[in-house]
Structure 1
């Protein structure tokens, strides 16, 4: 198992092109993780109260357009 320390050391040894490639990969990886977490929250109903509040605000005419 690779440790975080070993990963950090390996990153410092990357070329600029490899670092760009890693950055691009990691940004997509992080976005995918966030999407999965959001989908799990939605499926579990953890955002229902926020959605209900937004609908109530919209129906009451108190919502502001973005």
Structure 2
């Protein structure tokens, strides 16, 4: 764990339990969202490549 993350957790630990839980939920939701985005982007690489090829072909044809 980095020093900055340790400091952030130390500060959050000073908050009331309800606020700690709100913060923890927010972090977990953000991480899950990032994972979903990464998966969607990774899964779409073939489709994006095909669209790029089509766009280049259209551009070349005028």
Structure-2-length-normalised TM-score: 0.58
Moved over 4 A (4+): none
Instruction: Report deviation, 1:43.
Output: 1.6
- The alignment's C-alpha RMSD in Å is 1.8
Q: Tell me which structure has the larger Cα radius of gyration.
A: 2
User: Which whole-Å deviations, capped at 9, do the CAs of 1:4-59 have from their partners, x for residues lacking one?
Assistant: 121121121111010111122112111111111101111224xxxxxxxxxxxxxx
Alignment of 1:43 with 2:44, yes or no, is yes
How many equivalent residue pairs?
A: 44
* Structure 2 gaps, min length 5: 47-62
Relative contact order higher in (CA < 8 Å, ≥ 6 apart): 2
Larger fraction in helix: 2
Partner of 2:15: 14
Structure-1-length-normalised TM-score: 0.55
Q: Partners in 2 of 1:25 and 1:5 — Cα distance?
A: 17
* Structure 1 gaps, min length 5: 46-66
